[in-house]
Amino acid sequence: MAKIENTTVYPTVLPTADDLLIATDTSDDNKTVTFLVSSLIAPSSTLQGLQSVLNTGNIATQTMDLTGDINLLGGPGVGFLETCQIKLGGSYGAAGQVLTSNGAGVCASWETPSATSCCSLDSTLTVGNTSSQDIVLVSSQFQTGGVGGGVQITGPASLVNTGISIFSDTVSLVGTALNFDATAQINDGAGSTGGVGDILTATATGVAWSATIPAGLCCNIQDTLTAGHTTVGQGMSMTATSPLTLDATSDITSAGTNTWNGTNTFTADIEVDGTIEDGAGSAGAAGEILSSTGAAVAWIAPSTLGCCNLSDVLAVGNTATNNIGLTGTLTVTGGVVLGASTLSASGSVGAAGNILSSTGAGTQWIAASTLCCDLQDTLDAGNSANQNITLTTGGNTITAPLLDPDQIVDTLGGTGLAGEILSSTGTGLAWISSSAAYNWTVKDDGGLTDVVNSGDVLKIIGGTGLTSTLTGSGTAVPAMTLDLDNTAVVAGAYTNTDLTVDAQGRITAAANGTGGGSGDINTLHITRKYWATEFDAASLQWTYNDQMAPLVNTNSDLIGQQLTPTAMTSNNAQFGLVYASPDIGACHEAACKKILCTVTFNYSNDVDFVGEIYKADLCNGGPFVGELVAQCTMGAIGLDNIGCCEAVLVGGSPMEVPPGYGLVLVFSGMADISNFFGNVHLEMYTEECAPPP
């Protein structure tokens, strides 16, 4: 296409949507075509993208103003902004200034960093406190202080010090060791490195090397034994009053030969696991006893003393707590009294209730049930006893084809009186009177009760209008029926029925009637809307407007007064009239009697007021004296809210509204200038209609 340079011949104008443009159609062999300006701004048009513009040429000398964001995508080295300068707020910044963010919603700026803000060691360490570089301090010190300060070296790193370290405070080694190589030394407070075998001791002012252990530091027997409690070729000699005292948990263990001189006193038992030698060095023979010779002791045979047979032993004492073990035969011509002791047979003392039985080669304890005796064995031996048989477990019973007792004792221990019967109490048995076993209680509607015992007769009487009849007499299941007596009324359907009802509620007479109410019960719903706009302080009356305007009045008539009205004008009565019977036409009795059921107020108000319904005789001229029939007190709730008040019917519900009467709405109780809006809803139904005169 040709380039247009003569703007005089071809002036620049503001295009409209229906102007034509000349262009090249690249999709159709670069044909020259025309299209509307509106095609460029249509939602479905395809506009030229930034990529196509940059593909044509990405170098320009003009300024690019952006109101949106520049998003660089693609990651490091792929999406980036390459620029020579950055201009902020019209300034390229001064040398040494840094780009500073001023927070969200505020433009960044060039700022000169202060000496106190950058770059101190603290700010540098805040950026990053980890480095793989060496820190070299020349003619300077590395100091740390404050709570938690210090130098921490973690493995495998180490502290290498080729100079002299001076510690003016406590050096704590926790969970670690202080290693010295073969040539390392420690200087004490005097600068000495000590001699061979010296120990480092504390002084009042520091430490010093010492060739001896200071008095009071070494060494009690506990320290010595802790260091080592075994000695070779050494003895321990205790002289003067140096006793060896051992507590109850200590003892002396010796595997050698011990010689005791002097008198040794033992206040507890002597346990000998080996032998005891007498004065001649003999350990004695089996059965020998240790006997005194006057100057020493010697093992001798008991027979040399002329003692002791069993009779001699028992003569000395026949009571012992030890067992008697016999390998031979024990012949007893008297009795054997065991007392609290046991008798062992075949290595067993038996269980409770066991009996001693011969095995032919010895004796043994066995259960009595293995030999004797079931109940049959016992009864065969004898079936008479003067002892009671007591079953203590709840599930035990006695089963017998025939029980012929002389007496039966109940749970309380009684054997009963003549004529009494045995009865279950639920937890046992008891003898009771036969009459008490067969009785029941009757109770009337008034709460009176009586007990009918065995042999008594209960008579059931029908009473007024009822007849009792007994059926099934003499059978297993007799029955008593109460029937309602018939009256003189003939069964059937009646119209406008005249009824006679007795005190029991029975219909004793019925006949067709001659007419009456139509029976039409139609519910009538009446809703009237009102609002108040002005209060007359002089007359103490409110100005009301009827939104529905059903009557002829166009003025703002006054209805009601501040005080309960005793009379009202015809205008007020007409304006406040909610319902009248008859609904239209002249006053006469050709109208229906209505029954008022409910009165409901719905309201929005910013002043307290009282809504009242009066019943007035509308056919006898004015003034109209009203009778208060319903009242509802409504508190201020605001014009943006809707309240509901169910009125209280003064005469109770339902309330009769006869022909010729009307219901008049009156608002009272307001004492301030304000507004209210609302409606009153009456629910009525027709009870009776009279024919026209």
Write the Ramachandran bin of 266: left for phi over 0, alpha for psi from -120 to 50, otherwise beta. beta
pLDDT of residue 563: 29
The per-residue pLDDT of the chain, averaged, comes to 74
Rounded-to-integer distance, Cα 218 and Cα 112, Å: 72
Is the pLDDT assigned to residue 561 strictly greater than 50? Answer: no
DSSP 47-58: PPPHHHHHHH--
**Please, which pLDDT band fits residue 576 given cuts at 50, 70 and 90?**
low
C-beta atoms surrounding 398 within 10 Å: 7
pLDDT: is 523 or 28 the higher one? Answer: 28
Instruction: Report, as an integer, the average pLDDT of 239-253.
Output: 80
Distance of alpha carbon 211 from alpha carbon 447, whole angstroms: 118
The H-or-E segment that residue 378 falls in is helix 375-381
Q: Which residue has the higher pLDDT, 150 or 546?
A: 150
Calculate mean pLDDT across residues 85-111. 82
Q: Write down the pLDDT at residue 1.
A: 53
CA gap 461, 477 in Å, rounded: 20
* Residue 534, pLDDT above cutoff 60: no
Tens-place pLDDT, residues 3-19: 677 777 778 888 887 88
In 538-643, alpha helices (H): 570-575
Under DSSP, is residue 273 helix (H, G, I), strand (E, B) or coil? coil
pLDDT of residue 368: 74
Instruction: Kindly tell me if the per-residue pLDDT of 82 is higher than 60.
Output: yes
Structure tokens at 261: 């001189």
User: So what's the pLDDT on residue 535?
Assistant: 44
CA distance 126 to 146: 19
| Predicted local distance difference test score (pLDDT) of residue 693 | 43
Q: Which of 510, 477, 508 lies closest to 495, judged by CA?
A: 510
Quote the pLDDT of residue 218: 67
- The pTM for the full model equals 0.26
291, 279 contact by CB (below 8 A): no
Pick the closest to residue 556 from 536, 538, 537 (CA basis). Answer: 536
Residue 122 DSSP code: H
Residues 536, 690 contacting (CB under 8 angstroms)? no
Which of the four pLDDT bands, split at 50, 70 and 90, describes residue 639? confident
* Residue 681 CA: distances (Å) to CA of 168, 499, 545: 101, 39, 17
**640 contact partners, CB below 8 Å, separation of at least 6:** 604
Q: Are 487 and 500 in contact (CB under 8 A)?
A: no
Residues 427, 431, 433, 434, Cα dihedral to 10°: 90
pLDDT value at residue 604: 81
Residue 227 pLDDT more than 50?
yes
Average pLDDT over residues 297-314: 76
Highest mean pLDDT among 274-278, 310-314, 509-513: 274-278
Cα-based distances in Å from 382 to 375, 387, 405, 475: 10, 13, 17, 52
Size of the chain in residues? 693
**Closest of 302, 322, 321, 324 to residue 312, by C-alpha:** 302
Question: Given a cut of 50, is residue 562 above it in pLDDT?
Answer: no
Q: Which two tokens stand for residue 297?
A: 């002791």
Sole residue written with tokens 């009307």: 662
SS3 content of the chain, % helix, strand, coil (to 5): 10, 25, 65
CATH number assigned to the domain with residue range 523-689, chosen from the 4 options 3.30.110, 1.10.3470, 1.10.1660, 2.60.120: 2.60.120
Domain ranges in the chain are 459-515, 523-689
Flag whether pLDDT at 305 surpasses 80. Answer: no
Lowest mean pLDDT among 23-32, 529-538, 567-576: 529-538
Instruction: Report the SS3 class of residue 321.
Output: coil
pLDDT band for position 559 (50/70/90)?
very low
The CB-based long-range contact list for 284-287 (8 Å cut-off, 24+ gap) reads: none
How confident is residue 222, by pLDDT bands cut at 50, 70 and 90?
Answer: confident
Give the whole-number percent of the chain exceeding pLDDT 90. Answer: 0
DSSP 4: P
Task: Tell me whether residue 580 is exposed, middle or buried, using C-beta atoms within 10 angstroms of its C-beta: 0 to 12, 13 to 18, 19 or more.
Answer: buried
Question: Higher-confidence residue: 555 or 45?
Answer: 45
pLDDT confidence band for 366 (50 / 70 / 90) = confident
Model confidence at 564, pLDDT cuts 50, 70, 90, reads very low
- Within 398-508, residue ranges assigned H as helices are 434-437
Residues with Cβ within 8 Å of 58's Cβ and at least 6 positions away in sequence, in order, are: none
Q: What is the DSSP string of 187-198?
A: --TTS----TT-
Q: How confident is the model at residue 554 (pLDDT cuts 50, 70, 90)?
A: very low
Give the pLDDT score at 541.
47
Range in 192-196, 393-397, 459-463 the model is least confident about: 393-397
Does 295 score more than 70 pLDDT? yes
Q: How far apart are CA 66 and CA 342, in angstroms?
A: 116
Mean pLDDT over 473-492 rounds to 83
Q: What is the Cα–Cα distance from 420 to 405, expressed in whole angstroms? A: 16
Quote the strand ranges of 561-675, DSSP E: 577-580, 592-605, 609-617, 626-634, 638-646, 648-649, 655-657, 661-668
Q: Is the pLDDT of residue 663 over 50?
A: yes
In this model, does residue 409 exceed pLDDT 80? yes
